[in-house]
Amino acid sequence: MSDISPLKLRIPHQDLDQFGLFPLTVEGAEAWIRELPVIKTRETVQQLCEALEQLNRIVLPAAQRYAILEVLRPVLQAAVATLSRRFLNQPLVLPAEPQQIAELVDQLHGRASTGYTVVAIHAIRDREVIQDVNPARLTCEAVQRALWFTACRIVQTYQLHQPSDNAAWQRLHQLYMLAERQHLTRLRVDAAIAARTTITATYLIPLLLACCKPNQLRQSDLTALVRSLQQWSELATLEPDSITSGLFAVDIEGDQPPAYSSARRWPETAQLRVIDTAGLTEQLRELAATDRKHGSQGIVFDKDTVLHSNVLQHVIDSLSSVSMRNFNRSIIDQQLQVALGLSSTHYYTAGEQTFKQVLYGSHYQPTVSERIPDNPFLRPRKQPDPWEEVDTDDSIQRQEHSADSATTAPQEIEFDPTSKAALLASEDEEAAARARHPQFQVRAVNASPGGYCLEWDTALPGKIHSGDILCVREADNSNWIIASIRWISRLDGAHTMVGIELLSPRATPYGACILQPGGVASEPIRVLLLPEISLVGQLQTLVTPRNGFREGQKILLLRGGEEFKVKLQRQVAATAAFSQFEFRRLKQTELSDSSPEHNQPYLPFKSLWSDI
């Protein structure tokens, strides 16, 4: 059926009689670009959108249209790169202006894709009259660029955790089908992304990205992964279902991303193409082994684009094995208390104790010397005190004047909340600590033994990302459960769905000092000790910040005056926010309290899920 079903590509009618922005020549387009307000990027993009809108509707020979689009493309890509900084790495729920910019960039990508699609279709239609250029090459390059700009739309929806509702997948598949029917998929062309490639390799970039569970990755990780796939996509293969086997398959007649090929719930009319990732994953494993051998933190493309080692492992896992849900979800409607981040999780699992109290005991009060850095009146003076040079007579006169007015009513001095909290007793300090570690009331809509799906219909925190650690508890339970954000999905309206994976039913907070060669210890850093999970055969583990900790390091753990040394062993998990290590106990340092309960780390209980 591959040659029977009609193509569903839609292009605008060429119904404009004249083009008013510039002469429709390469020279005219170059002159118009030189006049664009380069400093005002948003205005430049708006003018490019208008130019593409008119260009897509004007009658032009395919080669001439393509030449003009190639002149506009570098400016378009530079403007998009600049504008993307306005809506990426921002709060998940974008304010109005960044949201408008994101929509403008999506519109620009769509119109650029349409322009190159018009070139490809007209080049095939008018191949007999095209001169001075090979019609097949013109079609091939135009399809490749149309595929790339369509892929950019898909990448942006993943970065913003939004559903793809612009039929981008259907356009992507239809463009590939067009090239496949013209036998152009394996011809090498100069790509829109500054490297020679093929239509198949370009088409595989968004397909492989969709196979890598992009809703579990952060925006910067997705950017680095797309950059990586520009080099790696040719290591995967794409063939009809009858020729090869692979982990993933895609219906090029549909409007959906790839799915596991073993889940064969395809319509009878489906035209399946199988994605074989075996060669790609073999190469990635070699890269990961080299990365671990040299102790680096990933693959560096430039100062702003790094594919971290945990993301590389995530890609390998995603592309090499089927990951199916182990537990059935149950529909619930339950309010949960949630605290985000390692700092807040540490605070609440410690019973709302500050980090210093965790390190030195609940009754700890900072010494005078510790308070000096925050108290300017206790710091030693580096210069003579100017008040010592005040005229004594003038001081006496001021005292006499003050005595004459002693009968006046005393004035009250108002302090701002920060100053008041610093001057008053510990109750205000505790309130300030709670303010630094806010809790959120979130509704759980379904649950399984492995986690929850949360519907975040209140105002989202400014920074919430896949891979963040958090703690949750039910309203009638005093115990905080440790979890991590597995995926995020933005729905229409104000709702955001957040999938969380449970790591442990509780944790013991510690401070950790990294022991450097020579016995020098770093400043204490917040870490969490998770108890042994005998149900799944997992030993006790240590949750640390993502940066600074690695396998083989020696760590000094501190809690309530107790100290003991451990060595980090196998890293069992890692996200962009935290790492999780198995560890073993080293020779114990001398402790002030040698009772058994201080000689061993506190392990609350043995089994993971008994109290959930």
384 domain-assigned: no
* 187, 244: one domain: no
DSSP 542: E
DSSP state of 367: -
Q: Which of 150, 165, 197 corresponds to the end of one domain?
A: 197
3-state secondary structure string, 244-298?
A: CCCCEEEECCCCCCCEECCCCCCCCCCCEEEEECHHHHHHHHHHHHHHHHCCCCE
Token code pair at residue 273: 């193409």
State residue 234's pLDDT score. Answer: 94
Structure tokens belonging to residue 556: 């000094």
On whether both 30 and 134 belong to a single domain, the answer is yes
The answer to the question of residue 225 being in a domain is yes
CATH number of the domain where residue 541 is located: 2.40.10
Q: Does residue 466 share a domain with residue 571?
A: no
Q: Do 294 and 233 fall within a single domain?
A: yes
> Is residue 486 a contact partner of residue 501, using CB atoms and an 8 Å limit?
yes
Please state, as a whole number, how many other Cβ atoms lie within 10 Å of the Cβ of residue 296.
13
Instruction: Please give the residue range of the domain that contains residue 491.
Output: 330-356+435-504
Q: Is residue 278 part of a domain?
A: yes
For residues 590 and 108, give the distance between their C-alpha atoms in angstroms, rounded to a whole number: 66
Q: Can you tell me which residue has the tokens 């040659």?
A: 3
**Helices 62-84/41-55 angle, 10° precision:** 160
| 8 Å CB contact between 56 and 48 | no
Strand partners, 306: 300
Residue with tokens 């965790």: 358
Q: What is the distance between the alpha carbons of residues 245 and 147, in angstroms, rounded to a whole number?
A: 25
pLDDT of 49-64, one tens digit each? 999 999 999 999 999 9
Below-70 pLDDT ranges, the chain: 1-4, 165, 192-194, 264, 295, 324-327, 365-429, 458-460, 462, 491-494, 536, 587-612
Q: What is the pLDDT, as a whole number, of residue 370?
A: 53
What gap in Å lies between CA 73 and CA 33, rounded to an integer? Answer: 11
φ and ψ of 273, to 5 deg: -125, 130
Q: Which neighbouring-strand residues pair with 509?
A: 528
CA angle 217, 220, 225 (to 5 degrees): 70
**277 and 172, same structural domain?**
no
Domain boundary among 197, 221, 250: 197
First to last CA, the chain: 53
Q: Is residue 161 part of a domain?
A: yes
Cα–chain center distance at 112: 27
Same domain, 80 and 5: yes
CATH number at residue 490: 2.40.10.220
Same domain, 164 and 298: no
Please give the tally of structural domains in the chain. Answer: 4
Determine the pLDDT at residue 428.
Answer: 61
**What is the rounded distance in angstroms from the CA atom of residue 498 to the CA atom of residue 446?**
11
Query: Domain for residue 157, yes or no?
Result: yes
Give the DSSP letter of residue 313.
H
Burial of 144 (0-12, 13-18, 19+ CB in 10 A): buried
If asked whether residues 50 and 140 sit together in one domain, one would say yes
> pLDDT at position 383, please?
53
Same domain, 186 and 257: no
* 464 within some domain: yes
So what's the pLDDT on residue 493?
60
State whether 37 and 155 are in the same domain.
yes
For the entire predicted model, the pTM comes to: 0.78
Query: Would 390 be classed as within a structural domain?
Result: no
Q: Is residue 399, in this structure, part of any structural domain at all? A: no
123 Cβ contact list (under 8 Å, min separation 6): 62, 63, 66, 130, 135, 138, 139, 142
Which one of 324, 346, 374 terminates a domain?
A: 324
Angle 278-293/309-320 helices, nearest 10 degrees?
150
Contact between 399 and 393 under an 8 Å Cβ cutoff? The reply is no
**Whether residue 297 sits in one domain with residue 334:** no
Does 179 share its domain with 255? no
